[in-house]
Structure 1
Amino acid sequence: MRASGLLLICALAAVADPPAPESLLERDRSARRAWREEPVALEGRVLREDGAPAAARILAGDLEVETDGDGGFRFPKLPRINLLLTIRAHGFFDEVRPVHLACGLDTTCVRLDTLRLRARLPGRTRLVFGGDVMMARRFFLPGPGREPLLRTKTLAPDAARILCDVAPLLRAADVTVVNLESSISTAGGTAVSTKPYNFWSPPELLDALRRAGVDCVTLGNNHVWDYGEPGFQRTRTELDERGMAWCGAGIDEEGARAPAVLGPFRLLSYSGIRGTDVPLQAGRKRGGAAAMTPEAIREDTARAAAAGRVIVALHSGKEYTDLPTPRLRAAASAAAASGALMVVCHHAHTPQGLALEDGVLIAWCLANLVFDQDRWEALPGILLVVDTGPEGLEAARLFPIVNDGLVPRPATGDLARGILRRIASLSPGVPLHTRAGAAEIGFAGMEEWRRTEALEVPAGVPVKAHAADPEGWIREVSGPPGATVEIGSNLLRSGGFENEVVGHPGLPSVWTAGNAARLSFDDPRTGGACLLLSSAGATAALAHRIPVPERFTLFGYLRPEPRGQLRVRCSFRASSASGPAFEDEIRDVPADGPSWTSFSLEFRRPPGARTVTLEFSVPGSEPAALFLDDLAILEWSPAAGPLPARHTGEFLRSSLAGTLEVEWSGGIR
């Protein structure tokens, strides 16, 4: 009996002791090997516009398969790395789709939604629009501890490599247009303004853009005249030598307002930034960008509409904000009322919503295509793909991209879904249907579905609501009698740690992993990966400052090995880019047991602060190990009454435990 008791005590002690670092790391290495060596299948179906099966070739990297008689296809073995899938069929436009394959080992086959091909009919044209472009500053001088992406001896291949992951999307069109927000030069020059930011990019940028499929650039912006007329003339010469169309700037107002001729289209480009010490807009006897005034837009659009279909590009707004300014709205309305087919905007450097004004599509901000900004708000961007026909706009799709360490990459999975849902929430009245990493505008309308589901919730603990259709939206919530119910929006992208961009399988670049911290594939809570803090002193932190409301919740899941403590350090700043620091707030979260357990911490930012950076670590000196997954920074609002048709809320919290009745809705094209 005494021997049995001694054995029991020893067994309990063995269970309670933290695992030896060697055994933990060996298990992690085994999981990593399994994730790399265990392939995943990919299958889907391709149909024509009329619903008939399409005879198509499907390309996934170097592999290729053909559809069967029913339009189906299957790749039996693919690595678990996100990729671009290309669908080609005779007489149809190429379709390119980002596909999320970096999934967990419990997923053996990824099944895509039905892919529909659009025929190359007479009078039908496909256009692609990207946002702001430059390759300067941090591309050459990235800062301590980082390798430059552009080196003077290898500029051409370096520039091409930066664009290689988005190039297939840019090429899959008849005409591709971006905003060149930079002078082209080999050494800059003398800036004409004392403004703090003056951009020049090497000519190899244009070679890379041309090779990636870009046909035309807009110059109506606040950086085309950074180096005066010499800088503009050099830029124009470099563009002309490469056969790239351009518009939006000139040595006088007449030249700046002239349209670019793109087959049946006429492209006009304007800048709403006047300049301070030096005018940046063109005048009768002064060069610069075309000035964004409703009068000029109405006159130019009406004149150009007599010769072709007019597209207007506007460079204006308030940087790093969600909504267009009244001045930008007035300019876009002037274009729409004067015969424009569509309006595309930039300058805010963060994606904004869409609008339909008398059938005219307005994209308020496409954000950046390739830029050296590393502010949190400026990381996501949008590629807009538009099909036009004899009667006007026929189809439009949005593909989210992400600045991944200054490299633009297509987004997949929950990362793409979150970006698109935010854009949809900023696009009231636009029938935007999100599905499988892209969003499509339903010009012909959409059928709405509604359903109600019951959700059991504890008191005061955030719960992520899941609809039967992952693209559904919470429309109304009713809780237990007397309960206060809130809906929460997640402000943190990539809180699941698996990489959800094309072409980069490692830890997402928004995270930095320090001592003994690493991406792990050892039994993540969801998805394909989690974060491992493998010993005391291990640290991981956000590489960016995230704008947060006055009150917010840090929510996530923790798995100790078998017990431990997580230290969370919140560092507050006045802005995303600079500003004074405030006193850090440190919280310790104890954890016990071998399973995933949620934690929830409430924070209030100090007066004057606007942004937060998070650091996670294992305190102390004793052997310990912790896994983290599914982190979220939650902003709460009341869930009383009917909610907007589109919003970003997916978490719910009730002051009382009980059952929530959640009504969902969504659209079917």
Structure 2
Amino acid sequence: MNIYKLLPFVPVMCALSACSVEDPYESGPTQAQEQEQQRQQEQTQQDQKRGLNLQLQGSGDAALSDVSVEALGNQYRTDEQGQLTLTDLNTGMLTLTLSKPGYQRAVVTVNSRDYQDNPLAVQLKRLSATSSELMFGGDTMFGRRYMDPSLTTMGNLLPDVEEAMIRPGNAASSAIALTQFVKPITASADFASVNLESPVLAAPTTVHPSKEFAFFSLPDTLQGLTEIGIDYVALGNNHVFDYQQKGLEDTLKYVEQAGFSHSGAGNNTAEAYAPRLVEVGNTTLGLVSATSITGDDHLVTYIATADKGGAADLTDSTALRAAVEQARDNSDYAIVQLHGGDEYSYAPTRYIDNRFEFVSRREPDLMIAHHPHVAQGFALYNGVPALLGLGNFVFEQNRHETLLGVAVSVTIDPTQTPKTQSARAYPVYLEDYQPKLVGGFLSDYLIRRLAEFSGPEIAIVPGPGFGDVYFHQAPAPQEIDTVTLTLPSGEHIIDLREYAPSHAFVSKISSTGQPEMTLGRDLMWFGDFEDWDNDNETNEVTRWEHESDDITPCLTGAMRGLQGMCLSRTQFNNRPLRMPFKQTLRTMPITPAESTLQAYSELSLFGYAKGDNAGDVSAELTIVTAEDNLEFSSEEVSLIKPGSYDWKTFRHDISLPDDSQTLGSEQLPARAVKLAFKQAPPEKGEATLMLDQLALISWQKPLSLNNGLWQAERMHGMDFIAVQTSNSVTLTLHFSAYN
């Protein structure tokens, strides 16, 4: 017998949102379920294997068979039609080394998904039997933050820090691991060189008594260079004497024990200036290295004298002339490496420009500059090719503008005219201090900027992970597309990235009216959240702080490209989500200008957002000095109100204080911005915010219309146009690129 007990009815009054009980079969998925579904979808996408189709061509687009293709440590060969299909490739960037005897080697960095349907066509140029490939990397060292992340300078202690990239007990293996991803461009070259901007010591005891920044590298770390095929190190720089005479003697000893040729420093003036002659096949190279950073403001200078060691002095015109002429007269191909100029600028200073001019009149065959830590362009001085600045190669600066360097391959033939046959620039990205090759937008961005700040006779043609540099017989870009936009009165930002591929540039603008227009350059580079480097990781977003599980790369639904950034929040977590950019973003010196003390001051924070019940979107902006991060102001600005919306733009303009306002004992002006994005919790429910294509735009080039028309003089790296108009105008944008 079933007994049912009747309970008295007790009415309960409650708010619907507080007391409702969800039926799991009737309600939609929770945020946790949606996040898990997205993670599974993204993991499936990431785990997908892809193929890549290659088409190798020789002169006249003829198929090139039996080309060796090295990828991921494996060797392949093209068939009789010059074709090769690589299968079972993971998503992400891939570096391929393509070589065939008698042809110029090619190293390409691409994403395999871009060439599943249409093949990647690569043309290899014929080489003469007397040609050689020379590879040049920029500033290189294995000390300081590699050994202790907290250091800004080094002293007489030997760091041994548990979380460091290099420790005394594993210096060799760590250095080899550090340089592994740039090995494809250096290992197969006939000759490879870097600027070794560090003493090499086993035990530091004699640090310079008054130098602000000093550092050293351990002897075993030189294996990070021998392993990738470096043959020569330039020592004519302002750090070779950081540990004075004892440190210099140790450096020379360990460099020679490692098997490197070197020049630019010695125990006296004669040794420091002496050119080094190196045999490369049937060609004799003559190598000179010197610095203009002499340390004259210190009691102990950095340069060699008749009775003191140090670097060769670039400012001593008499000794420099003799060294260059000696190298020229005793070699088939003379190379002069100049160390100097102002740091962190797009172009050489007037003094280094003067030194290029002076050296070129001595008729060397190639000139290369170091020291600014920022990749610069290319030029001809009296017919002599010049690499104006290579930036960093293996270096651990935490300044954002130093993270992109360039390594340059130069093909020479001393029996031909000109001796320098061709050059190829490879962008190098220092990701958390580790050098890596890059492709896609990041490569194209740097190549276009290098072209912009090169000499008028130079052309640089972007390729997959490189740029071909033309010192002679430069090709002309061709128009590839036009876009017509009608804008109402007011202020607008045109995002040129929306209308053309990253290797193209806006070359002409016509207008129906007279709007005020200014071209702008993105200082951030990493606001697209894409992973452009060739390491073994995929879908990295390393320039943004995103340790929270609520801030993750989203691999589906990006505004452009493969991924954006997703920020998720619920009403029950009342703390805003915060996503800072890791580096301080410094405005750059006005170029060209009389002094690098002048800088661009007008900026705009710009980007795209998509919200699903998103909370208030804001940005924390702190204006600081370029050095020491002294703070002028800090504010939180609202960018987008709460709600649901499809992809839309946001904008906030920033004006740096004028230079009459300074901070600190050195009277430093405002030169940089620190930023973080924030999403507030929603009023109720679950919130998702997607961000993509973010930029901190530096407005740098006002445009002047001539009869309603503006034309670019050359390829450039500007991706934005600010338009201000009092009337409706129609703009026609013409985009050009190299075939």
Compare CA radii of gyration and give the structure with the larger one. 2
Over residues 54-74 of structure 1, what are the superposed CA-to-partner deviations in whole Å (9 max), with x where a residue is unaligned? 221322214544323332222
Task: Tell me the distance in 2 between the aligned counterparts of 1:61 and 1:217.
Answer: 28
Give CA-to-partner distance per residue, 1:587-607, whole Å, 9 cap, x none: 241254353222222222344
Aligned to 1:646: 715
Query: Are 1:492 and 2:524 matched, yes or no?
Result: yes
Aligned to 1:511: 544
Corresponding residue of 1:289: 311
Give the CA deviation at 1:368. Answer: 0.8
SS at match of 1:212: coil
- Please say if 1:455 is aligned against 2:455: no
**Counterpart residue number, 2:64:** 54
The answer as to whether partners of 2:459 and 2:474 remain within 8 angstroms in 1 is: yes
- The offset of 1:110, in angstroms, is 6.9
Q: Which residues of 2 match residues 289-328 of structure 1 at below 5 A? A: 289-292=311-314, 293-308=316-331, 309-328=333-352
On the 8 A contact 1:525/1:596 being kept in 2, the answer is: yes
Q: Answer yes or no: is the 8 Å Cα contact 2:513–2:730 preserved in 1.
A: no
Structure 2: segments with no counterpart, 5+ residues: 1-19, 152-160, 571-575, 588-599, 659-668, 706-710
Return the alpha-carbon distance in structure 2 between the equivalents of residues 153 and 417 of structure 1. Answer: 39
Moved more, 142-151 or 435-444: 142-151
Structure 1, unpaired ranges of 5+:
1-9
Greater CA deviation, 274-283 or 630-639? 630-639
Determine the structure 1 residue equivalent to 2:46. 36
Greater alpha carbon shift after TM alignment, 652-661 vs 402-411: 652-661
- Given residue 304 of structure 1, which amino acid in structure 2 is its aligned partner? A
Q: Amino acid of the residue matched to residue 183 of structure 1?
A: P
2:483–2:499 contact (8 Å) kept in structure 1: no
Q: Deviations over 1:323-350 (max 9, x none)?
A: 2122212222222211211101100111
Decide whether aligned partners of structure 1 residues 224 and 528 sit closer, same or farther in structure 2, where only a CA change above 3 A counts: same
1:367 aligns with 2:391: yes
Task: After TM superposition, give the deviation of residue 446 of structure 1 in Å.
Answer: 0.9
The aligned counterpart of 2:679 is 618
Q: CA deviation at 1:216?
A: 0.5
Q: 2:539, 2:632 → 1: CA distance? A: 31
Q: Please tell me whether the aligned partners of residues 447 and 667 of structure 1 are also in contact (alpha carbons under 8 angstroms).
A: yes
Separation (CA, whole Å) in 2 of partners of 1:70 and 1:461: 51
Structure showing greater relative contact order (alpha-carbon pairs closer than 8 Å, 6 or more residues apart): 1
TM-score by structure 1 length? 0.92
- Which of 388, 401, 410 aligns to 2:437? It is 410
| Residues 87-486 of structure 1: pairs in structure 2 closer than 5 A | 87-101=98-112, 109=116, 111=118, 114-119=121-126, 121-143=128-150, 147-263=163-279, 264-275=284-295, 276-277=297-298, 278-292=300-314, 293-308=316-331, 309-389=333-413, 390-391=415-416, 392-429=419-456, 430-442=458-470, 443-450=472-479, 453-459=482-488, 460-465=491-496, 470-486=502-518
Residue 650 of structure 2 is aligned with which of 574, 579, 599? 599
Segment of structure 1 superposing worse, 339-348 or 535-544? 535-544
1:501-540 to 2 correspondences below 5 Å:
501-503=533-535, 504-515=537-548, 516-535=550-569, 537-540=576-579
Pairing 1:77–2:128 present: no
Structure 2 residue 732 is matched with structure 1 residue 661: yes
Q: 1:476 touches 1:639 (CA, 8 Å); kept in 2? A: no
Q: Which range is displaced more, 503-512 or 159-168?
A: 503-512
- CA gap of 1:594–1:348, structure 2 versus 1, over 3 A, is same
| Larger deviation, residues 141-150 vs 391-400 | 141-150
In structure 1, C-alpha distance between the alignment counterparts of 2:349 and 2:29, rounded to whole Å: 57
**In percent, how many aligned pairs have the same letter?**
24
Query: Would the alpha carbon gap of residues 353 and 397 (structure 1) be closer, same or farther in structure 2, given more than 3 Å must change?
Result: same
Q: Measured at CA, do residues 657 and 62 of structure 1 come closer, stay the same or move farther in structure 2, by a change above 3 Å?
A: farther
- Contact (CA 8 Å) 1:60, 1:85: kept in 2 or not? yes
One-letter amino acid of the structure 2 residue matched with residue 47 of structure 1? Q
> C-alpha deviations, 1:149-186, integer Å up to 9, x for none?
11232221111111000011111200000011111112
Contact 1:193/1:226 (8 A) holds in 2: no
Cα distance in 2 for partners of 1:605, 1:501 equals 33
* Alignment check: 8 A CA contact 2:53 2:85 kept: yes
Quote the Cα distance in structure 1 between the aligned partners of 2:304 and 2:73. Answer: 49
Find the residue that maps to 1:527 and give its secondary structure: coil
SS in 2 for 1:381: strand
Question: What is the distance in 2 between the residues matched to 1:290 and 1:108?
Answer: 49
Whole-angstrom CA distance in 2 between matches of 1:435 and 1:168:
16
**1:564 counterpart letter in structure 2:** G
1:546 aligns with 2:597: no
Cα offset for 1:20?
A: 3.0
Superposed displacement of residue 479, structure 1: 2.6
Shift of 1:416: 1.0
Distance 1:556 1:424 in 2: 26
Q: Secondary structure at the match of 1:534?
A: strand
Instruction: Please give the per-residue CA displacement for 1:14-44, whole angstroms capped at 9, x wherever unaligned.
Output: 9xx9973213311320232122122333223
- Alignment RMSD (CA, Å): 2.5
Shift of residue 557, structure 1, vs aligned partner: 1.0
**TM-score scaled by length of structure 2:** 0.83
Q: Answer yes or no: is the 8 Å Cα contact 2:69–2:77 preserved in 1.
A: yes
Kept in 1, the 8 Å contact 2:513–2:729? The answer is: no
Q: Which amino acid aligns with 1:441?
A: V
Structure-2 separation of matches of 1:209 and 1:314: 21
**One-letter amino acid of the counterpart of residue 462, structure 1:** I
- Give distance in 1, aligned partners of 2:636 and 2:170: 45
Structure 1 moving runs of 4+ over 6 Å: none
| Secondary structure of the corresponding residue to residue 524 of structure 1 | coil
Rate the CA distance shift 1:137–1:74 in 2: closer, same or farther, 3 A: same
Superposed displacement of residue 644, structure 1? 3.2
Partner of 1:560: 611
SS in 1 for 2:621: strand
Matched-pair contact (CA < 8 Å) for 1:18–1:562: no
Q: Distance in 2 between matches of 1:108 and 1:490?
A: 28
